[in-house]
Amino acid sequence: MLTPPQSEAGRFTRTGKLTSILGTAGIYVIIILLLLVGLGIRQLDYLSLANLRSILQAVSLLGMCCAGLAFVVFSGNMNDMSLPMTMALSGMMAIQLIPYGIVVSVLGGIVAGTLVGVINGIMIGKFRAHPIIWTLAFNLVLSGLVRAAWGGSQIYPDTIAGQNETAQATAETFNLFARTYYFDGALPLMVVVMFIMFVLAQVIFSRTTFGNKLRIVGSQYEVARMSGINTERMVMTAFVLCSLCASVAGIFYASLTKIGAYSNGEGYDFRALTAVLLGGMTLAGGKGTMVGVFGGVLVLGMLTNIMTLIGVPTFNQYVVQGVVFLFIVWLNNYLEEKRGHA
């Protein structure tokens, strides 16, 4: 009974690996082209340590989100639209818990954000809610709850700490998270955390049973279910990992701005999906690698950096990013249709 599904699973795995290799190669060709454009604008200054660090630091929060969102996209669930409020909630909760110490603050923020992934995972994995509709609606619900809980106001680490000296020291430590550098300022902590997330995610995708099963779930959900794979648990885990990474990004975001606000994660849902799709993953699921996704993150970072260097206004940059997103989604759907008719 299980032989046909297992055969199908092997075929999808081999096809997925070939597609991933081609997609990864393509994104790094784009990176080389953008590098040449940058050299043409700034010459050797573009390759300076300061500029390269600036690019990596600018995309570190996006990269953290992509490291988690890749699991959702890979599982065939397209996107997590609750990602912005997951970031905002984790950052605000972390700031609110500052009087209880830095460990409680950070863990509390991560737990609060990860809980969003648990709820998403249950509703989408077990009850088969539509991933886009559910997470978009849940994002709106979370937005209302966060505004109600904090009275629609922003919160600040220093204000929450008050006059308590211990809490003030905790607030200072919290604010330093996004301003910690290694090797004489060459390597920001945020970039280190992003790299660690990508390495762990790549290991999970390529070296674990979970990664292999998730590929089958994303490629052919019914095949995975008939093969005995616990599809509900796989989808739930994907959303939990997504929210976990977004929570860490949300805490760094709050540390960077020294503000906890419901608007902290705005736009990261579409920007993260753009980077993931640029990196070779597809909305249909089951294809791509974290090496490719990292390339997608770099492309967005380099594109923004180049537009800033040539003086493109911020709002015009949003237009360019939006056009890139629309093009990638169209191309993604077009290629999937071509594969379906092949």
- Mean pLDDT score, 211-235: 95
- Mean pLDDT score, 50-65: 93
- Give the model's pLDDT for residue 186: 84
- Mean pLDDT score, 287-312: 93
Predicted confidence band at 45 (pLDDT cuts at 50, 70, 90)?
A: confident
- Give the model's pLDDT for residue 339: 67
Residues 6+ apart with CB under 8 A from 177: 189, 251, 252, 255
Residue with tokens 């990596």: 56
Spatial contact of 178 and 252, defined as CB atoms under 8 Å apart: yes
310 CB burial (10 A radius; 0-12, 13-18, 19+): exposed
Positions of E strands within the chain = 181-182, 187-188
322-326-329-335 Cα dihedral, nearest 10 degrees: -140
The string of pLDDT tens digits covering residues 12-26 is: 445 445 445 545 778
Single pTM value for the model: 0.90
Share of the chain above pLDDT 90, in %: 77
Residue 207 maps to which CATH number?
1.10.3470
User: Where in the sequence is the domain holding 130, given as residue range(s)?
Assistant: 3-341
- Mean pLDDT score, 282-293: 92
- Mean pLDDT score, 297-326: 91
- Helices and strands in the chain, H and E counts: 14, 2
Quote the crossing angle between the two packed helices 268-278 and 49-74, to the nearest 10°.
Answer: 90
- Number of domains, the chain: 1
**Strand-pair partners of 258:** none
Answer yes or no: is pLDDT of 191 > 90. yes
Neighbours of 106 (CB within 10 A): 22
Residue 80: left (phi > 0), alpha (psi -120 to 50), or beta? beta
Spatial contact of 303 and 320, defined as CB atoms under 8 Å apart: yes
DSSP state of 43: G
Answer yes or no: is pLDDT of 54 > 50. yes
Mean pLDDT (the chain, rounded): 91
Supply the DSSP string of 82-111, one letter for each residue.
THHHHHHHHHHHHHHTGGG-HHHHHHHHHH
